[in-house]
Chains A and B, each alone.
Chain A
């Protein structure tokens, strides 16, 4: 498995996408920290970019990479190697390289300009979201044999998580605004990995406003050990279950 991860890594490094990806984050974070006079303001803008761009790039890159290395995987599977090892090797290669370039690309500017807890939380959220969306992209790529449809599905997942989901929940919220929705909204916000990351950052950036009305329910829940534990657990579930599902399909699949 490690060997395959290494091959995947070499493969990825050869096409230089990962380097460009890292540079992109350096550029974005440096410019936001320099542009905004207030570091919190810079972090907020950075969060907006991160929540949109990072899932998109992870999803597209991971699915394209998996389709492109289909032939390589077929070749490798001719050897006495288990299928799960091949897929997990690919996953660790892709996720590892994306995480590394994002971690360096954004981690260094954050360390320089905002070496605080919320800065590291931002980078941490980015890393976890990378793991989640690479895993979702793998699932899409394994589900669809056709490359175009697979990438399409991956994009759809991205679109749903970052834009559509919030839109739907907001619409529902307006429609049922006569009812007490606090708990429902809390649960719904918890089910989407992008929202989870966003809310974790919100608690750092807009603490004063959040302590307003929703304070009681919201802050106590997220501040408590139960809330934090549940958030971490759900994120872990979002990383693991698409990957396990993809693994199951991949093992039974007629390549």
Chain B
């Protein structure tokens, strides 16, 4: 963590020091001698500033040298559905204060509102992006910041819309305080390592709010993912830290609060999962820890496949979910301990806050409705409740080694404050 912090500080130091070496400011405004941003860039020396005044600019801006490109009065860069409004092909570049609209779209090339190619120390902040194919695209770059941008697109199907913030083969990037809406995937990472993603809000995207693959050792904190077509999907990754995020209202036949596929040695803690069809779906995950998460009002809180092993669920609160845990096998190689389950019917005679009989979070009807989905129509009917009780008393179909041997009697935070 500290090494990462140091690299940020160096990045910032390098950037600001470059700026102070007697750099010039070129002012671009419509109707003046300097009315083209590209002309200004061509005249600028490295580490100069190009200040763009409010107005409409119909050009494909290409930044090919270290530069500060600053918009004042929200100048509009219009791609007219044909070109890429901003391409950054140099390191040490800052782009801020623009409104970037209508990038072109293509099947072969991923055109974006703002695209960064093979660069380092690029800062993209406080821009508005509207109706672009891809929003902000980082390709093979390191030590870049993307903060405080608002991205809006109006995608309806996956094939014709691009991702909001897309990073491919990057390292040590920082994505924070962005608002993304209506893209294909809100945030998409492929081969992105050692990065931090904080306080972003990704909502109403066509497919996933967050989607990453092969992106090791990244931290995701305080983000919000809501109303996305299929929730959040993270795959083929190890050593991820996800804390204090909110996954809410991802509802539909294939929507997940979070889908974890082949995730290893990761930590998923202190998150809130609210009103998702499936809060967490796990497949092929190993040696991860899920602690202090709150699962509330979900259809299925946790669906864990038999291919998962050595994962630890501890101190999570399961409240008012239709079903708590389901699995696809009798065998379970994961540990559940000291969680709070509101379906728990046991007792606590010695009053130590821990139930005296184990809790079996897998209910019979959850298993049945996995095989016969339409059986859901009889959920909460008296006959079904009788079946459930009978199964809990004498488990025959449910995996009885998937159990919490020390269920909490009260939700975790309550128990915690009591211990203090």
Contacts and interface: CB of A to CB of B under 8 A. Distances in A.
A28 interface: no
A212 B411 contact: no
A166 B380 contact: no
Chain A interface, >50% SS class: helix
A166 B384 contact: yes
Interface of B: 251-253, 255, 275-278, 296-300, 319-320, 322-323, 342, 369, 371-385, 411
Nearest to B274: A208
List the 4 closest A-B pairs by CB distance, nearest first. A209-B299, A213-B373, A209-B322, A208-B299
A87 to B, nearest CB: 31
Contacts of A189: 377-378
A208 B298 contact: yes
B319 A47 contact: no
Contacts of B378: 166, 169-170, 173, 189, 195
A247 to B, nearest CB: 31
A48 B253 contact: no
B254 to A, nearest CB: 9
B376 A212 contact: yes
Given A52-B382, A177-B371, A212-B299, 5 more contacts: A166-B381, A170-B375, A173-B378, A206-B322, A212-B373
Interface in A141-187: 162-163, 166-167, 169-170, 173, 177, 181-182, 185-186
A100 to B, nearest CB: 27
Contacts of A201: 380
B376 A210 contact: yes
A254 interface: no
B253 A166 contact: no
A7 B356 CA distance: 57
29 contacts: A38-B342, A41-B319, A44-B320, A170-B375, A173-B374, A173-B375, A177-B371, A186-B374, A186-B377, A189-B377, A198-B380, A199-B377, A202-B377, A202-B380, A205-B380, A206-B380, A207-B251, A208-B299, A208-B322, A209-B277, A211-B255, A212-B300, A213-B253, A213-B374, A214-B376, A214-B377, A215-B252, A215-B277, A216-B253
B374 A166 contact: no
Given A38-B319, A38-B342, A177 B372 contact: yes
Given A38-B296, A208-B277, A208-B322, A185 B377 contact: yes
Contacts of B252: 211, 215
A41 B382 CA distance: 17
Contact of A210 (B299, B372, B382): B299
A40 interface: yes
Interface residues of A, number: 41
A215 B296 CA distance: 20
Contacts of B296: 38
Contact of B373 (A51, A170, A207, A214): A214
A41 B379 contact: no
A209 B275 CA distance: 9
Contacts of A166: 378, 381-384
Contact of B275 (A185, A202, A208, A214): A208
A222 to B, nearest CB: 10
Contacts of A182: 374
Contacts of A205: 380
Contacts of A213: 253, 369, 373-374, 376
Which of B275, B278, B342, B376 has most A Cβ within 10 Å? B376
Given A40-B297, A206-B322, A211-B299, A162 B382 contact: yes
Which of A41, A195, A207, A212 has most B Cβ within 10 Å? A212
Given A209-B277, A216-B253, A37 B377 contact: no
Contacts of B383: 163, 166-167, 170
A92 B278 CA distance: 47
A120 B322 CA distance: 21
B408 to A, nearest CB: 13
B319 A37 contact: yes
Contacts of B276: 208
A48 B385 contact: yes
B416 to A, nearest CB: 16
